[in-house]
Amino acid sequence: MKYALALIGGVTVFLLTVAMLFTAGWTMPPVHSTQNGFRGTGMDQLANPAVERLLKVANALQVRLDELLAPPRQTARFLRAGELPTRNRGAVAIRKVVPEPLPGLDLERMELPAGARMAGVPHTPGTREYLTCERGSIELVVAGERYTLAEGDVVTFRGDQRHGYYNPGKQTAIAYSAIAFAPTSAG
């Protein structure tokens, strides 16, 4: 039944597309342009008014155009831990906490085996970083100052400084890092 409905929907879309392209009454929106130069040698600002309106709506709603045109998102999405992007830096496993990018924010889970070290990468000036220890203990060194985090502890620091992580314990440590990037101005 599901396949039959999908097939009927596909055929309907195809027939409407053919009707739109090859029958009277269905027209493409006009393309507007401005002429600069001698006898039309310099045409610029080719635009489709419908696309311009969509861009204005997307900007007003503060969403990307592809998000505006995409089908609505699901009300919920369940992902297993293995489905989230993961990378390794030395012995440290780093996994994203959310599946899609959040503007200006990065959330990661770090798993440091006993004795593991990892150098942090300084970010752009104005960036703030937050580190919390979920399990074990984590030693954070920021600009030469050392902080030892036990389970539940949090350190906030300027993310544009040299920093590094170390697990001084005998068990695997789990930490979460939230990086709030400094706003950048286009221009």
CB contact set of 17 (below 8 Å; sequence gap of 6+): none
As a whole-number percent, the residues of the chain with pLDDT over 70 amount to 74
For 26, counting Cβ atoms within 10 Å of its Cβ (0-12 exposed, 13-18 middle, 19+ buried), the class is exposed
Mean pLDDT to the nearest integer, 160-181 = 96
Report whether pLDDT(119) > 90: yes
Q: How confident is the model at residue 29 (pLDDT cuts 50, 70, 90)?
A: low
Per-residue pLDDT reduced to its tens digit, 76-97: 888 898 888 999 999 999 999 9
- Residue given tokens 């399990």 in the structure block: 135
CB contact set of 148 (below 8 Å; sequence gap of 6+): 137, 138, 139, 140, 168
* CA atoms of 166 and 87, how far apart (whole Å): 18
The single-letter DSSP state of residue 175 is: E
- Structure-model confidence comparison of residues 156 and 26, the more confident one: 156
Mean pLDDT to the nearest integer, 99-116 = 92
Residue 138 sits at the vertex; the CA angle it makes with 81 and 91, to the nearest 5 degrees, is 55
pLDDT score, position 16: 64
Given the candidates 2.60.120.10, 2.40.160.60, 1.10.287.130, 2.60.40.10, the CATH classification of the domain at 81-180 is 2.60.120.10
Q: Is the pTM of this model over 0.85?
A: no
Q: What are the structural domain ranges in the chain?
A: 7-69, 81-180
Strand partners, 119: 164
pLDDT score, position 187: 44
Per-residue pLDDT reduced to its tens digit, 43-63: 555 567 777 787 788 788 777
CB contact set of 158 (below 8 Å; sequence gap of 6+): 127, 128, 129, 142
- Structure-model confidence comparison of residues 164 and 55, the more confident one: 164
Q: Which helix (H) or strand (E) holds 30?
A: none
pLDDT score, position 24: 56
Report whether pLDDT(31) > 60: no
Report whether pLDDT(27) > 80: no
Do 146 and 74 touch, CB atoms closer than 8 A? no
Report whether pLDDT(3) > 80: no
